[in-house]
Structure 1
Amino acid sequence: MELFTYFRSSAAYRVRIALNLKEIPHKLTTVNLLKAEHKSDAYLKLNPQGLVPSLKLDDGRVINQSTAMLEYLEATSDSYPLLPSNPYDAATVREWCNIIGNDIHPVDNLRILKYLTGTLGVSEDEKMTWYHHWIHEGFKALESQVKATPYCFGNQITLADLYLVPQVYNALRFDLDMANYPKIRSIYDACNKLEAFINAAPENQPQE
């Protein structure tokens, strides 16, 4: 498999962790967003939205959108299950993923922030107020639900941890006050002791 990735992309970060946990052989190909490589004709043939990541399968077929990639990897790989076997428990994990993947990440994504400061003329301070607001909204809900013993759902790493860690990474990068989220911070720290998470971290990726 070939994952088209960018080191600070939260969505690509999730998929990198999954590929590592499941020990699926793969190649990482950097798409530099700062150089607008995601808007090139060649990349748009892979991903018509011009977003990262894209996952090219061994047979050349392509999956776009990180949630679809993670569900595909879960369905096709028997190694390291990332969803509980109980349907209700699996739905709970997906619920937590959706809080991050649907309600926090999209409105705080780079292209949204650029639109705010560019087209709409929002100040940098106002942009950061927006950014922090939506993370706080999601983290408040998650903090009341996740187990943190030591991971989101207990002793088993699940898809929820793969969504949470990149979101916390970005929150810390943009100086979000995490004082009210001790369980979330504990999960983040526990996950980042694992080799699969360490190897997927932005600072351990090529940046060009």
Structure 2
Amino acid sequence: MQLYSFFNSSTSYRVRIALALKGLDHVYVPVNIRKFEHRATDYLARNPSGGVPTLVDGDMNLGQSLAIIDYLDSTHPQPRLLPQDTLLRARVLELSSVIACDIHPVNNLRILRYLQKVLQVTPEQKDAWYRHWIAEGLTAVENLLARHGHGPYCFGDAPTLADCCLVPQIANALRMECDISAYPKAMAVYAHCNAQPAFQRAQPSRQPDYTA
């Protein structure tokens, strides 16, 4: 199994957490999205969307972090990251989707580049854009945790897909110096997760392509 990943990509980070939680050995293949290596012809042959991560398992190439984690849950079901209980699974997917569909897509590197290079917004406007969508999204996450969350993880005593999504998103918010004081429940989950060995192994600073 190979994981094409960039150390600072939150979508790659999600999959690294899942692999670590499941104890799955894999070869880490760096793809430097800052140098546009994800747009190279050979990479696009593996992943037509031109993003990271990409998982290679035998003859299969699979992109998109949520699809990859669902695949891993089906092929290596222990521990389960998408619960079998219908309502709990729906809650996990609900919170995960706020992050993966509402926050991340408007704040990823290609969008920020477009804002700066094409629309020519100022650095201050770009930062305001980023912080706005972090605030909107994490407010929703905090409210969902207040209504339905329980235990040290998002939903109970074991990590799920929701935790795999939450930790990288908060890490990005911290890196971008967003004010996250209004999200104590999310931050408590973040702190608990980061105390666990699997989450620590997946951190950007622990990856072979890490640069400060």
TM (norm. structure 1) is: 0.96
| 1:22 Cα offset (Å) | 0.6
CA distance in 1, matches of 2:202, 2:24: 13
Once the 2 structures are TM-superposed, how far is the Cα of residue 207 of structure 1 from its aligned partner?
2.1
| Structure 1 ranges of 4+ moved more than 4 A | none
Alpha-carbon contact 1:3-1:55 (below 8 Å) kept: yes
Does structure 1 retain, via aligned residues, the 8 Å contact 2:70–2:82?
no
Aligned counterpart, 1:176: 178
Deviation track 1:41-62 (CA, whole Å, cap 9, x = no partner) reads 11111112221110001x2210
Query: What residue identity is the alignment partner of 1:70?
Result: I
Residue aligned with 2:126, SS:
helix
Aligned length: 207
> Deviations for 1:90-138, whole angstroms, at most 9, x for unmatched residues?
0110000100000000000000000001100111111111101111111
Where does residue 126 of structure 1 map in the other structure? 125
RMSD: 1.1
Tell me if the contact between 1:6 and 1:53 (Cα under 8 Å) persists in the aligned partners. Answer: yes
Question: Scaled by the length of structure 2, what TM-score is found?
Answer: 0.95
Cα distance between partner residues in 2 of 1:37 and 1:144:
38
**Cα deviation digits, residues 130-176 of structure 1 (max 9, x gap):** 10111111111111221252111021211000000000000000001
Compare the two structures and name the one with the higher helix fraction: 2
For residue 145 of structure 1, give the secondary structure of its aligned residue in structure 2.
Answer: helix
Which residue pairs with 1:18 in the alignment?
18
One-letter amino acid matched to 2:65: S
Code of the residue aligned with 2:49 in structure 1: it is Q
**CA distance, structure 1, for counterparts of residue 203 and residue 150 of structure 2:** 20
Separation in structure 2 between the aligned mates of residue 77 and residue 47 of structure 1, nearest angstrom? 22
State the SS of the aligned residue for 2:155.
coil
| Alignment map for 1:46-57 (pairs within 5 Å) | 46-57=46-57
Q: 1 CA distance for matches of 2:156 and 2:130?
A: 29
d(CA) in 1 for partners of 2:5, 2:116: 25
Check conservation: 1:148, 1:183, Cα contact below 8 A. Answer: no
Which residue matches 1:151?
153
- Provide structure 2 residue ranges, at least 5 long, that are not aligned to the other structure: none
